[in-house]
Chain A
């Protein structure tokens, strides 16, 4: 298996623009997690899905952030409109039911100018 796949790997955009981050979990994994990592706040869980259903979105910072999982092999995290304080590395991770072990993707480094 190729592991968790994320795209793009780097994104530079201007304030006010829409940003869409993409994730393909490991095949057969039931859970998908979106994290944000910054120096100031560390690794924060934004939202996670079980069998494509959002379970906990309490970490989503505000209404500008939204996430979807239309099927078992694809998820998106959208920021609209983006702001400079959204600059961070966004990781997607997946795990199998009953396992707890989360496998992280390579991350998307987002820079909002």
Chain B
């Protein structure tokens, strides 16, 4: 069945260090991979996404890489700041129903000052 696995479930880093969160997906036909950030008590918000025809995308301190052959994609946050502390979710489109997103289980990132 369709599945998105996300690791690690928790991640603690010192301010200024980098953080990397990894996801693997099961369906080779998935073609869109967004990342959402959810602060405590708030809604998930889209922070970056990548499509299957692109290997890497950057937006200031965040970047996403995609390896279609291995069916995995990663979120990289450089120069982390305390305000980066949140739960991050990856997702992938379902090939069975392309309008649908399959979400990972989330990574709780804590950035210590």
Contacts and interface: CB of A to CB of B under 8 A. Distances in A.
B103 interface: yes
Interface residues of B, number: 18
B25 interface: no
A107 B43 CA distance: 7
Nearest to B103: A43
B72 to A, nearest CB: 19
A102 B92 CA distance: 12
A55 B99 CA distance: 10
B103 A42 contact: yes
Interface residues of A, number: 18
B90 to A, nearest CB: 11
Chain B interface helix/strand/loop/mixed? strand
Contacts of A56: 97, 100
A103 B46 contact: yes
Interface string B80-113: 0000000001000100010111010110000000
A55 B105 CA distance: 24
A31 B45 contact: no
Chain A interface helix/strand/loop/mixed? strand
A7 interface: no
A90 B52 CA distance: 30
Contacts of B100: 45, 48, 56
B96 to A, nearest CB: 9
A31 B106 CA distance: 24
- Which of A48, A56, A100, A101 gathers most chain B CB within 10 Å? A100
B99 to A, nearest CB: 6
